[in-house]
Amino acid sequence: MNLSELARKIRVPMAELRLKLPAMGFDIGGRAIKVDNRVASKIMADWKNLNAKYEADRKKDEAEEEEVVDKTAEKQIVKIPEFITVRDFSARLGIGVTKVLGELMKNGVLASMNENIDFDTAAIIASELNFEVEQDTTDATQEKAVEALEEKLKSQNKKDLVERAPVVVVMGHVDHGKTKLLDAIRMTNVVDNEHGGITQHIGAYQVEKNNRKITFIDTPGHEAFTTMRSRGARVADIAILVIAADDGFKPQTEESLKIIKSAGIPMVVAINKIDKPDANPDMVKKQLADHNLTSEEWGGKQVTAEISAKKNIGIDSLLDIVLLVADLEKDSLKANPTGLAIGTIIESHVDKGEGPVSTALIQSGTLNAGDGVSVAGNYYGKVRLLKNYKGESLKSAGPSVPVRIVGLKASPSIGDILQAGDVQKAKVSKYQLDKQATGFSAAHVAVDEDNESGVSTLNLIVKADVLGSLEAILTSLEALNHKEVKAKIISKGLGNITSADIEQASAGKAAIFGFHVIADTDTMSLASEKKVEVQLYGVIYHLIDEAKKRLQAMLSPDVVQTDLGRLKVLAIFKKEKNAMILGGTVTKGKITKSCKANVLRDDVKIGTGDITQVQQGKVDVNECKQGNECGLRFEGKPILAEGDFIECFLEEVKEKIL
């Protein structure tokens, strides 16, 4: 139903209806011209009650506002980030969202309560409502808090330090056998549970060798996980770079090597798949030497181990090498197990039964069940349950122990620093924590800006099951940008696809890409009704490849023109409708059959046509070269005359590469 028709039926001005509907819970979009029939029916049936509640809320908001104004004549100071939703903006001002929406409309801004407005817009509205605005620098404050906590790790009293297990990160190219290696070490089977045999989520595991514990961090191998791999290297003490003996160096191998070098940690190269018939360990060692990493066998210092994760060959030797490297680094492998727990979040997701679940690597102190936890300066709740990688319950977790934490209010971001103990319970809502970690709110809408700059956008809503995957997807989509096209994320978040996502996608003309999430039957029915495309993926690079394919199709091709020759018209033999038979002399290059031609008169282009036939001596030929005379058939609108020139050229269409 048209919005104007709905306004007429309930006898309300259309502008007033646009203002009231979002506040009543009908997020139709600021520029909507139509309303879903079911929604329209609901509004018409219950308009009297809806309007009465709206007016009551409006009067209450105005009364509260007047009370605030009466308390102080001075402008109150509020802090606003670069972008903020209308709902959050009204909450910071302490004014009803209806009033804020009204002020926005007065200033020509049509927005729903869930849409973002920028700092400048918020500052203007706040000023009119008698508030003074400052830029919110919370993010910078959080960064300083992270730096302070990391500095605290470095400045611990040496007397309190005891040896801890080395933390080993496993890196390398996709399908070179990283997870198979960990599988062999743990004697479990993880690969079979992963889509396509590729690890989709970062994981941490602890094993025992020679009565000594080693913590392993497994990082996904595809380039989509650069960010996650970087964070894995940050918390690690030793790196294992896995290279397949039959494949050698690959792009992700190079990338992993750069990350390891930038982290400044010692590295062991595991040359995997030596059981294959075409395995060539010496090829890998030569490639290492080309990267200034000469193996010990060749007289260098780089430690290497030849293994077969599939056949369980050389695994014990590799672990012995890891422990040997750890012994060389033993001065740095110490921590205080008695202080407050400090660690790094290495995985985070929302479990249907347990709620927000995070995996943390404890770096100092001991985390106990029942401890309060703060992340990035915000209180995230109390630890209800601790589990190891096997799913077994723990009472506590000390340094170098990876532990799953159940009981937090929301899922923190991967790479965040976690601190336990007597933390102040700041009044931060779960909604704010979720938004801080995952950016649940819609991204800033800038469609008009994109159109003005000539950029075509692929509008997407991205939903994933865990933060690591969500961040990796968003990072990869950003890398696909081109000066003509880009992927535009209008919303992102964790959890299954909901009807709210469908409504938002419909309003924003977006497709929904989900990774390791589902959409129930009702949601898919709504998507079909709204003509919203929902794509679900189990492998991240399939999602990225699909986005790349769509962006590629949006690129306008390049048309390359190649000049062939020039002919002077000497005679006109016959005129037909949209065609002419003429003769002339080729003064430059050549004139060819089936080429395009520009017609010039007095050096001014008067039109374009096609040369469909060329004759020399009344014999059809494919081309006539410079210095020769020929006859030709020209098809096109321009009417040629003696003395005109024809410039022959070819056009080649080349697709642009993203």
- List pLDDT tens digits, range 466-507: 776 787 788 788 878 778 888 888 888 877 888 888 988 888
**447-554 to CATH, choices 2.60.40.10, 3.40.50.2300, 3.40.50.10050, 3.30.70.1230:** 3.40.50.10050
Q: How far is it, in rounded angstroms, from Cα 51 to Cα 354?
A: 40
CATH class of 165-332: alpha beta
91 burial (CB, 10 Å; 0-12 / 13-18 / 19+) is: middle
The average pLDDT across 248-261 equals 85
The average pLDDT across 83-106 equals 80
Q: Structure pTM?
A: 0.55
Q: What is the 3-state secondary structure (H, E, C) of 495-544?
A: CCECHHHHHHHHHHCCEEEEECCCECHHHHHHHHHHCCCEEEECCHHHHH
Q: How far is it, in rounded angstroms, from Cα 529 to Cα 389?
A: 43
DSSP for 366-427, please give it: BEETT-EEEETTEEEEEEEEEE-TTS-EESEE-TT-EEEEEEESSPPPTTPEEEESS-----
DSSP code of residue 189: -
Q: Which residues pair with 614 in a beta bridge?
A: 621, 632
Residue that has been written with the tokens 């004139």 in this structure:
591
Structural element, H or E, at residue 131: strand 131-135
DSSP code of residue 628: -
Which among 391, 397, 348 is positioned nearest to 369, based on CA atoms? 397
- Beta carbons within 10 angstroms of residue 410's beta carbon: 26
What confidence category does residue 441 fall into, taking pLDDT thresholds of 50, 70 and 90? very low
The average pLDDT across 220-239 equals 58
pLDDT of amino acid 643: 93
Which among 20, 134, 37, 32 is positioned nearest to 76, based on CA atoms? 134
Q: How far is it, in rounded angstroms, from Cα 98 to Cα 86?
A: 10
Percent of the chain scoring above 90 in pLDDT? 27
Q: How far is it, in rounded angstroms, from Cα 127 to Cα 649?
A: 62
Structural element, H or E, at residue 451: helix 447-452
For the cut 70, the answer to whether the pLDDT of residue 42 exceeds it is yes
pLDDT of amino acid 623: 93
Contact 103, 58 (CB under 8 A): no
Structural element, H or E, at residue 651: strand 645-654
Q: Name residues whose C-beta falls within 8 Å of residue 585's C-beta, 6 or more positions apart in sequence.
A: 567, 568, 570, 627, 628, 629
Which among 497, 524, 534, 490 is positioned nearest to 29, based on CA atoms? 490
Q: Domain limits of the chain?
A: 3-135, 165-332, 335-423, 447-554, 558-654
Contact 319, 209 (CB under 8 A): yes
Q: What is the dihedral of CA 341, 343, 346, 347, to 10 degrees?
A: 30
Which among 435, 431, 448 is positioned nearest to 493, based on CA atoms? 435
**CATH code for the structural domain at 335-423:** 2.40.30.10
What confidence category does residue 188 fall into, taking pLDDT thresholds of 50, 70 and 90? very low
What confidence category does residue 453 fall into, taking pLDDT thresholds of 50, 70 and 90? low
DSSP code of residue 190: -
Residue that has been written with the tokens 């300083």 in this structure:
144
Phi, psi of 109 (to 5 degrees): -110, 115
Residue that has been written with the tokens 């060819």 in this structure:
592
Q: How far is it, in rounded angstroms, from Cα 347 to Cα 358?
A: 6
Q: How far is it, in rounded angstroms, from Cα 328 to Cα 256?
A: 23
Radius of gyration of the chain (CA): 33
Residues in the chain: 658
The answer to whether the 335-423 and 558-654 domains have the same CATH topology is yes
CATH superfamily membership of 558-654: Translation factors (2.40.30.10)
> How many Cα atoms occupy the beta-carbon half-sphere of 299 within 13 Å?
0
Residue that has been written with the tokens 């940050």 in this structure:
234
**Where is mean pLDDT largest: 68-72, 179-183, 366-370, 412-416?**
366-370
For 577, the token pair is 């409708």
Q: What does the pLDDT look like over 115-165, one tens digit per residue?
A: 778 787 888 888 888 888 877 655 454 455 556 556 666 666 777 788 999
Strands annotated E in 199-249: 203-209, 212-218, 238-244
What confidence category does residue 69 fall into, taking pLDDT thresholds of 50, 70 and 90? very low
What confidence category does residue 440 fall into, taking pLDDT thresholds of 50, 70 and 90? very low
**Where is mean pLDDT largest: 34-43, 53-62, 222-231, 298-307?**
298-307
Phi, psi of 36 (to 5 degrees): -55, 140
For the cut 50, the answer to whether the pLDDT of residue 215 exceeds it is yes
Q: Which residues pair with 600 in a beta bridge?
A: 605, 645
pLDDT of amino acid 184: 84
Q: Name residues whose C-beta falls within 8 Å of residue 473's C-beta, 6 or more positions apart in sequence.
A: 224, 462, 464, 513, 515, 540, 543, 544
